[in-house]
Amino acid sequence: MDYVYGPGRNHLFVPGPVNIPDQVLRAMNRNNEDYRSPAVPALTKTLLEDVKKIFKTTSGTPFLIPTTGTGAWESALTNTLSPGDRIVSFLIGQFSLLWIDQQQRLNFKVDVVESEWGQGANLDVLASKIAEDKAHTIKAICIVHNETATGVTNNLATVRKILDHYQHPALFLVDGVSSICALDFRMDEWGIDVALTGSQKALSLPTGLGIVCASPKALEATKTAKSVRVFFDWNDYLKFYKLGTYWPYTPSIQLLYGLRAALDLIFEEGLDNIIARHTRLGKATRLAVEAWGLKNCTQKEEWYSDTVTAVVIPSYIDSTEIVRQAWKRYNLSLGLGLNKVAGKVFRIGHLGNLNELQLLGCLAGVEMVLKDVGYPVKLGSGVAAASAYLQNSTPLIPSRI
């Protein structure tokens, strides 16, 4: 894809990284400072307490690791499990595939439960495996909450119900990279043992922070876990938590100040209001896709994601050309189809610090691109469907908490 300068701002509608609010940019626009001074530990202490709120946990212990979601995955696995441990993991798209690849390369014994891309995790298979596992050889369940490759959201509450029904002690590990702080997520209520997210998604920060939250059960598992870990070792963090200095190595100072500003914005709007906003934007996008005469990659309504929509296009069009044309002609960034759905879908990200007018602008751009590549879309049809819904659905009033 040749680089071509386009006038105006870039319209970023991939499912992460997302747009960064001005307040966050200003907060990060600062010099380096000594992280051993009293200021940074004081800041870190408030961040650790406030981060727990976006996971909806009071008992979890958070870790702010200078890494990406991939590093957060590794942190979750290596701190709680030992090589050879049996885990059940669900393959439903590119990112669950990558996590499974990591699990296998870390020498865990992985029971892969695969679904057709566009479907959610097969929890009936999970129930069967848990029911048969009388000896409790399964040590963990690993699941991606929101699979961005296909726009599928899994039901985490059902996973917890299955484990509780059979009184199974397996750890419950969740990738919430594109869901936490955008979709309904309840760590304590759903009995999640390790949850993780990345700063570049719904938190609307730059890439660079893997945020992990561990339950008391997960922390207890670290005492017997034999996986090799150094950079991601939670115990190193916990030692410095007790000392009140918090950091076993140099943190990203600018990202910490950005996180402070991002959390302040989240609490000002209200987390439940943010979840409701994403619900509205997700529904509006799906209505636009329907008005265009196209299909959602996600095969059932129960799996629809409110942070990303994967749009299936006719076989005579290569979806890669849609993404290329959008970027080259309109300075509009859309998500490519990945792996099994490469060339078959394009993705519209609608998460983070985003409002209705921004989304409608994106949808108008998509319509122009569809017209450019030869799809017979009626210009304005998707925008009209989405705007009619948004106009008639009532957003919650932001609460200052």
Closest CA to 211 of 103, 29, 14, 57: 57
- Phi, psi angles (nearest 5°) of residue 285: -65, -45
Q: Determine the Cα–Cα distance for residues 376 and 367; give it in Å rounded to an integer.
A: 10
Closest CA to 47 of 255, 223, 348: 255
Residue 159 sits at the vertex; the CA angle it makes with 158 and 165, to the nearest 5 degrees, is 85
CB within 8 Å of 394: residues ≥ 6 apart: none
- Phi, psi angles (nearest 5°) of residue 261: -65, -40
* Kind and range of the H or E run holding 238: helix 234-243
End-to-end CA distance of the chain: 45
Length of the chain equals: 401
CB 346 within 8 Å of CB 337: yes
Q: Determine the Cα–Cα distance for residues 251 and 151; give it in Å rounded to an integer.
A: 33
Q: Has 347 been labeled as part of a binding site? A: yes
SS3 117: strand
For residue 83 the two structure tokens come to: 């090589």
Query: What residues are designated binding site?
Result: 347
Query: What residues are designated binding site for substrate?
Result: 347
